[in-house]
Amino acid sequence: MQQNVSSDGETGHKCVPLKKRVAVALWKLATGSEYRTVGHLFGVSVTTVCRCLRDFAAAAETLLVPELIRFPDQETFADMAADTESRWGVPQCVGAIDESHIPIRAPQEHHCEDFNCKGGHSIILQGVVDGKGLFWDVFAGLPCSSHDARVLRQSQLWELASRGIFFPASTRNVGGVDAGYYILGGSAYPLQNWLLKPFHDTGRLSAEQQVYNQKICRAR
């Protein structure tokens, strides 16, 4: 049995009990320990650790992502806008967009594209969160050398929002302007009617522009 559990073959991997395979994957994800260290801790091979992690990630994507990261319906958008306004004082805002680097091993091909400024390799995860910091849209996979605007334009968020079918039609008069739902982005993102960003500070911003920048940057 020990030989089956520690085997690098597919048969050995399947002999590992399900609870143990989940534990291996969770331990690897939670600690970031090396595959060999995790394998030694659980008494399995490095290959088995890799397969446990791969299978867990595939199952999570299939079963958990649709359950935990859902596209908001009209009622949820309204609730998010109300909550964000009460928390941060920005009306009609349903979230903020930003990116995070996910570390990866150096790929054999095109490794320069995945080399980040901290000296490692990574891919980009683009996420949109609501006023409570809960994700409701994610997009990942592009190399870390990709500009924020390029990542956005490659995502389904850009495609649907640009076609006007991403956010439900719900406008409100804000300062004399009929404003629909929008998200907040940093200065690297392109300005859209559904994506607001700070004014570029040239040292000549008006008092109103400065207040605007302070409010949306604080909220974001």
pLDDT single digits (tens) 130-179: 988 889 999 988 887 788 899 999 999 999 999 888 888 888 888 888 89
Listed as ranges, residues in the chain with pLDDT below 50 are 1-11, 111, 113-115, 117
Quote the pLDDT of residue 112.
52
Q: What is the DSSP letter of 113?
A: G
Quote the pLDDT of residue 65.
81
CA distance 100 to 104: 13
Quote the pLDDT of residue 85.
93
Quote the pLDDT of residue 119.
54
Quote the pLDDT of residue 66.
80
| Annotated domain spans of the chain | 18-68, 74-219
**pTM for the full model?**
0.70
Give the CB-side neighbour count of residue 93, counting CA atoms within 13 A: 29
Q: What is the DSSP letter of 142?
A: E
